[in-house]
Structure formats: C-alpha cells, structure tokens
Amino acid sequence: MSDPSIMSHMFISSFGANKHENGASVLPLPLNLIALIISYLDRPADLSRTCRTCRVFHYIGLPQLYSNVSLRSYGYIRYSGRDGRPDGCGMASPFSMGLYGLVSRNIAGYVRSFEVCGEWKEHALEEHAKVGRVPDETMMLNSLVRVAVEKMAVLDSFSWALNIKMLPAVWTGLAQRSSLTNLTVRFPSSRHPRPITLVPPMPNLQRLKITDIDPLCYPDDISLLLLGSKKLRHLKLHWSPRMREERELSTHESAYFGRCATARYSIPLKTVAIQNLYTYHDISGCNLFDHSFVEEVTFLNSTGGIGDDPGNAFVDQHNDWRQNNDDLPSNLKMLRVDKTSRQQCSFIEHIKGLERLYLIGPQGRRAKDTTPNSGTPLPNSPASSYSSYSGTDNPNVMALKDDYIETITKCHGSTLKHLLLLPQWRLTDEDIALIVHHCPNLEQLGIGAEFSNFQRLRLLVPFLKNLTALRILSSPDDSTFVNKMRDMDDRGMHEKRLAEETSRWNLSKLRFMELGGEDLIFEIGNREAGKAGSKKIVKKKACEEVKNVAIWAFDCHEI
C-alpha cells in the first residue's frame, strides 16, 4: 500500500466509474476509505511520497505526516556514506531546517507530538559565563521552539532531550498549551550559568517525566508545577547518579514538594517512579501522594534497602506505613524496586491485591549507566552504612529469600500475574513448588534456578496454565549454568530439545523462554498446521525482539 502509483490509481478511481482498456468498470473509492488506507502508513518516507502524489492525497496525508515530529541535532556535520555529501548541503542542518519549516509554514497546527533531542553546540561558553550571558545561538533556538509551540494548537506531547537547558520562553509557551498532557524534560549536566525558571502549572498535564536533575547544574523549580497541575497522574523523577556516587546531600525533599506540603495537597498520582535521589526526608506529617490513587510504584537506586540510613530517604514509606496500616496504598497493583529489606517485606505483607512485583538484581539490563560505584562512604555521612549488594557476598540479602517467597505466595498468590525475583536467590524445588501451588494465575515469571535437564521444567510450566513468558536467570556469582546452556546452544540443541519438551505441554500458553542469559532467549510458536503430533516451532530471538514483554522491559535500571 506504500506505492504511490497504486494509491494514485485508487484516487483516480474514486471520482466515479472509469473504463479500463478491456471495458471493465472501476467502482468509485470513497475518500474516507482512502483516509483509512493512508492511516496504516507508518514510515515518514512513505507518507511524504504519498503527499506528493496528488492534491487529495496531500490533503489527507499531511496531518498524519506531521502528527509526530522529532528533530535531532548533532554537534558536528554529518556526511552521507553513499555520496559523501554533508547533510543539509547548501542550507543549514536538517535540525534547523525542520524547525524553520514548523515556524514558517502552516504545518505546525497538525503536530500532536513534538521532540527536540541530541547535541546542541554552543560557542565561547567560558566567555559568556564570565559575564552571565546565555550564548546567542541558544537564545535563538529557544525562541524558535517557543514560536513553533505557539503554533501547535493540538500539541499533546512535548519532549526536550537536548544537552542544553530549556529556557523560560519555552516553559511559558508550554503552559499556554491547554492541549498538552505529556511532558518530558531532560536537564543538562553542564554548570554554566542559566536563568532558573519557576515552572508555571499546566492545567491538563497528566504525565510528567524529569531526568538528570542535579542541583549544581541550575535545574528549574518544578514545585509550583506539581502543586498547580491538578490532573497530573503519572510522575517520573530521575536525579543524576553523581549525587549518590559522591555521597552529596545537595538537595532536599522540600525543594520539590514543599509547596504541596504547605498546602496540605496530596497529589493523586497513579504512577510514581523515583531514581537516584539522595536526600534527607525533611517533610513529615502529611502524605505527599494520595494513597488511595497510587497503582504503580518504582524506586531505583534510592534509599530504603539493606544498609541505608532510614533518615536519609525520599519518602520514608516503610516507617510511616508500618506504623499506620490504615494508611497503606489501597489500590497498589505494581511494585518495582532494586533493593530489598525486612521493612519492605513487611510492607508487601500488609498491602493487598498486588498483581506485578519486580525485584531487579544488580545485573539488570543497562545497569552500568546508573548504579553507584562502590567507593568508601564519606565519614559521618548519612550514607555511611550504605552498601549495594552484588550477590551472595551480602548474607542479609540471601537471608531474605525465604521471607519474601513466603510473603509473596501467602499474601498475593491469588492475584499475582508478573513475578521477577533476584537472580542470586537460587530457588530449590520446594521454593518452586510453593510458587506454582500458590500463584496459579502467573503470566510472566523470572526466577534464579538451575535446571540440570529440561524435564524438570515439567514441575513448573504445565501447572501454570496462563504462563506466557519464563526467565531462568543466571547467578551473578556463578556462571556454570549459563555456560552449560551456551555450550549446548553451540551444538544447535536448544531448539530441538525445547521443541520436543514443549510439545508435551498441550495446554501451555508459553511463548517466550530465557535460559540463563539474554543471548539465550527463544520463542515457542504453534505446531505446524495440519500435522497431528508435530513439534512446536522454536526460534532463537534477540533481546531487542522481546523488549515489549514486561518481564524483560522492567528488568533494567531505568524508569
């Protein structure tokens, strides 16, 4: 359908009955049907060629072509690998030309999602910093983005992921867009002087994600935004890992939620995600979040685990909720954390109806970018007792295995659908039997276990009728199991053995399986059509091919 010549023929036939050379007539094709066909084009190149086919295709396809706009800036000139010509030859960069097109042409009104990302090169930074000025090219960029935003009457989602700070002009322009519901902002890591903005409220904002917050890099004040955006339901806050790496208490909880605490306003959030925050818990006596609304909670690389000082926390949830069980989240469906503690285990015991639990291990995907280093904590620092577990070296972590499994199966077995346990918890047959018996509704499961043969999977998979994804996690301290699996794979045995074994699970819905490593992921397909007694089709898959499956997608140190 992406061939413009075919679509042009459909358009011509839509004006009425036409005659082919053989005398056959062509029925008219309604415009709404053409619009439906064009809606299935998802590649910008196909949409662009379609819009150049004729006037009607241009009229129908143009809103879809510009509904999602992403402009990426590069700090250097890129050259084509085909003919060696520079991008934007004879004009400015594609980034600048794209921004110019949004400002100068009547197309910005079609934009629903707008993103600017990449590297923006600034000149003479030190000279401008000495006199407290923002470079002219940065001011011009923000001015153009502001003008473009003002022309986007139906803007729903905006993302700023450039390496420079977004200036007040853009913030003000976004606040005036009543259609805006989704906002993502990345703060820069540079410490050159920039004006600090008191971000105004956005009346219809529903999703807010702020990343790379660093108090020493002049971040904007979002406290008024959190207080005044009454429709905010999803909040993700990510601080620079530098603060935890250097044990630097450079911020306070009240810097972000102080206005909400003063106004006694509990934000009715459904999703809360916090990463890398290192600060004192200096707000007490009020709930920052409405516990009756919270459905999903994520805490990554934040306090609240073994070895952490309880006074150094984002929200001292374990102590507060433990003291008052009547104030527990009443609708919590998902909990995702990368630290374990007895307080957290007690919290899991007292909540009801948990459906998804993800305990992320130290080897979670892309963990190297965000985990703190293991340097010696500073003397007299609130983090002097901080320790990040890495495996069986921490006996406290290993001692929690039985408590967690007992709590999870006893309190949430009937409702649990997704379960990811720490890879260093090597489950015994008794542990697996407990999970299978008490959690019959599991759909995705990730556990640390070592199966000497595939026949032992019969103790697990056939009894979980709804299981669609299974991960057998490798131990962070012992690679014997995963090496054995890789050696077997070199002989081409995995697909054959899995096809034989899974064919015996007639009622199984299992579709994806991992055997000790992300390079050992397999898709289990249906039997060959029309062949009774045939084996199931098993194919090896790359990790990227299962990135949308929750048990893999949430096993990472990212919010």
Is 429 a domain residue? no
pLDDT above 60 (res 312): no
Choice between 251 and 110, residue whose per-residue pLDDT is larger: 110
Question: What average pLDDT does the segment 235-242 reach?
Answer: 93
Q: CA–CA separation, 199 vs 160, rounded Å?
A: 15
What is the torsion angle, in degrees rounded to the nearest 10, for the CA atoms of residue 393, residue 398, residue 399 and residue 401?
A: 170
Query: What single-letter DSSP state applies at residue 503?
Result: T
Do residues 192 and 129 make contact, with C-beta atoms less than 8 angstroms apart? yes
Alpha helices, DSSP H, located in 229-284: 242-245, 254-262
Q: How many other β-carbons are positioned within 10 Å of the β-carbon of residue 364?
A: 21
Q: What is the pLDDT of residue 421?
A: 95
Strand partners, 357: 335, 419
Specify whether 291 is located in the same domain as 382: yes
Burial class (CB in 10 A: 0-12, 13-18, 19+), 131: exposed
Specify whether 77 is located in the same domain as 61: no
Of 401, 423, 445, at which residue does a domain stop?
A: 401
pLDDT above 70 (res 23): no
Do residues 144 and 99 make contact, with C-beta atoms less than 8 angstroms apart? yes
Tokens of 167: 């200036």
Of 65, 86, 104, at which residue does a domain stop?
A: 65
Question: What average pLDDT does the segment 215-224 reach?
Answer: 91
Specify whether 387 is located in the same domain as 499: no
Q: CA–CA separation, 349 vs 403, rounded Å?
A: 10
Specify whether 250 is located in the same domain as 199: no
Is 24 a domain residue? yes
pLDDT above 50 (res 378): no
Q: What is the pLDDT of residue 374?
A: 33
* Domain span at 450: 436-553
Tokens of 120: 């923006």
Burial class (CB in 10 A: 0-12, 13-18, 19+), 416: buried
Tokens of 113: 């999602």
- Please state, rounded to an integer, the average pLDDT across all residues of the chain: 82
Which residue in this structure is represented by tokens 């150049």? 52
Which long-range contacts link 500-506 to residues 24+ away (Cβ below 8 Å)?
500/535, 501/454, 501/455, 501/457, 501/458, 502/536, 502/538, 503/527, 503/534, 503/535, 503/536, 504/458, 505/458, 505/461, 505/462
Specify whether 248 is located in the same domain as 395: yes
Percent of the chain with pLDDT over 90: 44
Q: Dihedral of CA 479/481/483/489: which sign?
A: negative
Which residue in this structure is represented by tokens 């206005």? 259
User: Tens of pLDDT along 493-504?
Assistant: 677 777 777 777
Q: Dihedral of CA 11/16/18/24: which sign?
A: positive
Q: What is the pLDDT of residue 328?
A: 82
Does residue 252 sit in helix, strand or coil?
Answer: strand
Is 218 a domain residue? no
User: Tens of pLDDT along 99-138?
Assistant: 999 999 999 999 999 999 999 998 888 888 888 889 999 9
Specify whether 377 is located in the same domain as 258: yes
Specify whether 56 is located in the same domain as 103: no
Structural domain total, the chain: 4
User: Tens of pLDDT along 264-282?
Assistant: 999 999 999 999 988 877 7
Tokens of 413: 């077995």
Which long-range contacts link 38-44 to residues 24+ away (Cβ below 8 Å)?
38/7, 38/64, 39/64, 40/1, 41/1, 41/2, 43/2
pLDDT above 50 (res 315): no
Is 172 a domain residue? yes
CA triplet 265, 199, 168: central angle to 5 degrees? 175
User: Sorting pLDDT into bands at 50, 70 and 90, what band is 170?
Assistant: very high
Does residue 255 sit in helix, strand or coil?
Answer: helix
Tokens of 268: 């009715």
- Among candidate residues 225, 285, 282, 226, the one with its CA nearest the CA of residue 249: 282
